[in-house]
Amino acid sequence: MATLSPVTPNIDPLVARMQGFGTTVFAEMTALAVRTGAINLGQGFPDTDGPAKLLETAAEAIMNGANQYPPGPGLPELREAVAAQRAERYGLAYDPTGEVLVTVGATEAIAAAILSLVETGEEVVVFEPYYDSYAAIIALAGGVRRPVTLRPDAGRFTFDPAELRAAVTPRTRVLLLNSPHNPTGTVFTREELEVVAEVCREHDLVAVTDEVYEYLTYDDAPGGAHVPLATLPGMRERTVAISSAGKTFSVTGWKVGWITAPPRFVRAVQTVKQFLTFTASAPYQRAVAYALREEQEWVDGLRVSLRAKRDRLSDGLTAAGLTTFRPQGTYFAQADVRSLGFGDGRAFVGALHERAGIVAIPTQVFYDSGAGDPYVRFAFCKRDEVIDEAVERLRRL
Ligand SMILES: *Cc1c(COP(=O)(O)O)cnc(C)c1O
């Protein structure tokens, strides 16, 4: 009998459409920080826990038998809490049965939405810099991304309406919007959203909105808060809105997210989602349902605390000689490194690690164009001592 020889199969284990999507920059930078003991202002995760009662609720749920598959659309109590949150906070009415779908974080929601909506060769308009999973999922769907660049204007990043209009073609199917926006920290204004909505209505696009930072906005001026695109005229019908508990309750490792959308969109997204994971996280879903109803005060406190951290880090970056963009929302501040004489973000990040023992993210990895070359993203969702130590070390540059 012939013996099988241990020959490596002659195949490329990674399909062509995923080539170029190696390890994410976050994993790479976090590994670097862990290996060298550097301060990690790269990956956006908080270094403190969510509300104690939220954690206890999950622990109790595990001890009390919430350990089997939850229903495909998500636990009814969580879907009801989500619908109540959208209604109370934004005046948006969604039926918990049929218009809410619980997902494995916002990441799965984005993936299932794009995979359900985009045919091979169809286009997705996306603002660059974009969250890294967007490019990979559009590619996995066989879609084509049409980036519209956000550029600094009067201290914040925004887009040129003419460029947005020019990005849309007859093959465009989806507009993928992230507001509050990672990594620029821009919270899109109502005026900006009106332009986006007009383009969607005019070209019959579906809007997919990534609203994971919906609570984390810092400007108290009127219009400074998050406005869901679905609240604009004619938009609820064509919007798949995505949220997540990770950022709101400082439990990024739980991966409980959800979409709210009209029934036919929810059915389409669920059709894909059921074969990605089917369902997940029964005990965490129960805990998040509790937190959405009962932990608003804790979230308000988080917001106040993050606003102070934003100022702490932004002031430190400015004092170190960096041109800093004080964000209106999210976990992140961006800086232009040319003011310190660096040619681009990658060179700066290398020097920052070597000389100051700090890890940050060169924003250029989130662009198709070269418009992001001078920018670096710093996370400020860290304990004050960590931010202070980083600011102190920045002087070494
Ligand atoms: C963190 C983040 C996500 C991922 O959310 P999960 O719930 O952890 O999957 C999606 N989009 C943006 C813009 C994020 O910053």
Distance, in Å, from the CA atom of 263 to the CA atom of 116, rounded to the nearest integer, reads: 14
The whole-angstrom separation of Cα 124 and Cα 138 is 7
Answer whether residue 1 shows pLDDT above 60.
no
Ligand 1-lining residues (CB < 6 angstroms):
105-107, 131, 178, 182, 210, 212, 244, 246-247, 252, 255, 257
Ligand 1 atom at shortest distance from the alpha carbon of 331:
15
Reported as a single tens digit per residue, the pLDDT across 188-233 is 999 999 999 999 999 999 999 999 999 999 987 666 799 999 999 9
Question: Which pLDDT does position 31 carry in this prediction?
Answer: 85
Whole-angstrom Cα distance, residue 216 to residue 187? 10
Q: Per-residue confidence at 295, pLDDT binned at 50, 70, 90?
A: very high
DSSP class per residue in 8-77 = PPSS-SS-GGGTT--S-HHHHHHHHHHHHT-EE-SS---SS---HHHHHHHHHHHHTT--SPPPTT--HH
Residue 22: predicted pLDDT: 81
Q: What pLDDT digit, counting tens, does each position of 236-254 carry?
A: 999 999 999 999 999 999 9
Distance, CA 106 to ligand 1 centroid (Å)? 5
Cβ–Cβ < 8 Å for 290, 80 = no
**Burial of residue 334, with CB atoms counted within 10 A of its CB: 0-12 exposed, 13-18 middle, 19 or more buried:** buried
pLDDT of residue 35: 87
Ligand 1 centre and the CA of 1: distance in Å?
Answer: 54
Give pLDDT tens digits for 296-339: 999 999 999 999 999 999 999 999 999 999 999 999 999 999 99
Confidence of residue 2 (pLDDT cuts 50, 70, 90): low
Question: Of 185, 155, 102, which is closest to residue 324 (Cα–Cα)?
Answer: 155
Instruction: Name the residue of 30, 177, 210 to mutate for ligand 1: max ligand atoms within 8 A of Cβ.
Output: 210
Atom of ligand 1 nearest to the CA of 178: 13
Q: What is the pLDDT of residue 304?
A: 96
With tokens 């036919």, the residue in question is 264
pLDDT at 106: 98
pLDDT band at 152 (very low <50, low <70, confident <90, very high): very high
Compute CA distances 295 → 249, 291, 299, 347, whole Å: 9, 5, 6, 42
- Give the whole-angstrom CA distance, residue 307 versus residue 47: 16
Ligand 1 pocket mutation pick from 131, 255, 259, 331 by most atoms within 8 angstroms of CB:
131
Strand partners for 329: 217
Q: Hey, whose CA ends up nearest to atom 5 of ligand 1?
A: 106
Question: Which residues are paired to 207 by β-bridges?
Answer: 175, 239
Kindly report whether the global pTM for this prediction surpasses the value 0.75: yes
Question: Looking at ligand 1, which atom is closest to the CA of residue 107?
Answer: 9
